[in-house]
Amino acid sequence: MTKRARNRLIAGLVIFLLVGVTASQLPRIGAALILHPPHRRVTAEPPPQCHAVTFKGDGVSLQGWRGDATGKHRGTLIYLHGVADNRASGAGVISRFQKRGFDVVAYDSRAHGESGGDACTYGYFEKEDLRRVLDTVRPGPVILVGSSLGAAVALQLAATDKRVSAVVVAECFSDLKTVVTERAPFFFSPGVIRRAIRLAEQQAQFQIESVSPAAAARTIKAPALVIHGAADSDTPPDHSRRIYAALDGPKQLILVQGASHNESLQGTVWADIERWIDEALAPKSGG
């Protein structure tokens, strides 16, 4: 064997070993992508008329903001942020609805922002965190406004907690297994995805099949406003269409033309949300 041939053989063996090692690690990488979204630390101060507060979640501490309504109290609005985000994205929502008579709450979901917790489970444990936050609010109507991850948490809690008076959800996934499969890197085979899911379940001690806003929607009686960007390629609008179809109570679907992921809550859509909440809380005729 010539020296050149020997070098080529050695190089080929090295590449083969590297590819093999990388392939064997793909499920572990996939599980990490599912459970550990990037952290965005909160650098903003609380919005005017609000203060920092620590909520006791389901075995974790949740860092958040709370503010009282301006004027007559109409209820409480809780803002739930999206994946890899934090409560600071709710500052505008807080200011808008405080002026409309709502106490306001926004907090970092577990494994996000300044809150505790190591893994994101997309509502499996987060809905129990939210249930405990609800324990701290004043009596009266409760409106949940959630985006992406927060939307999924809102729907999963609304299915079992009658204290929720209405939900506004934007860019929600219909079930976790489907969106994980859709978002997996192109070089993840179906087998790698299945192994990544099993590993994520083992590490975080939850069941991905149980994380399904669409399944939760079948038992939600509270009014639900479903919003989605028509140009969303990260979580396609069909996810919201499936949720909307499954909802059993009063409902409305808004598709925002030209909006991509996390872009639907903008402009005139907020006027639509305000009108919808007013109608949802209006006394029912004959009630």
Contact status, residue 145 vs residue 77, Cβ threshold 8 Å = yes
Per-position pLDDT tens, the chain of length 287: 444 444 443 444 333 333 444 567 999 999 999 999 998 999 999 999 999 999 999 999 999 999 999 989 999 999 999 999 999 999 999 999 999 999 999 999 999 999 999 999 999 999 999 999 999 999 999 999 999 999 999 999 999 999 999 999 999 999 999 999 999 999 999 999 999 999 999 999 999 999 999 999 999 999 999 999 999 999 999 999 999 999 999 999 999 999 999 999 988 999 999 999 999 999 876 54
- What's the whole-model pTM score? 0.91
CB 94 within 8 A of CB 76: no
Distance separating alpha carbons of residues 121 and 243, to the nearest angstrom = 19
Cβ neighbours of residue 177 closer than 8 Å, sequence gap 6 or more: 197, 208, 209, 211
- CB-count burial class (<10 Å; 0-12, 13-18, 19+) for 134: middle
Q: Which domains does the chain have, with CATH numbers?
A: 1-35+178-207 (no CATH), 42-175+211-281 (3.40.50.1820)
Contact in structure between 224 and 167 (CB atoms under 8 Å): yes
What's the farthest any 2 CA atoms get from each other in the chain? Answer: 94
Helix axes 3-35, 190-204, angle to 10 degrees: 50
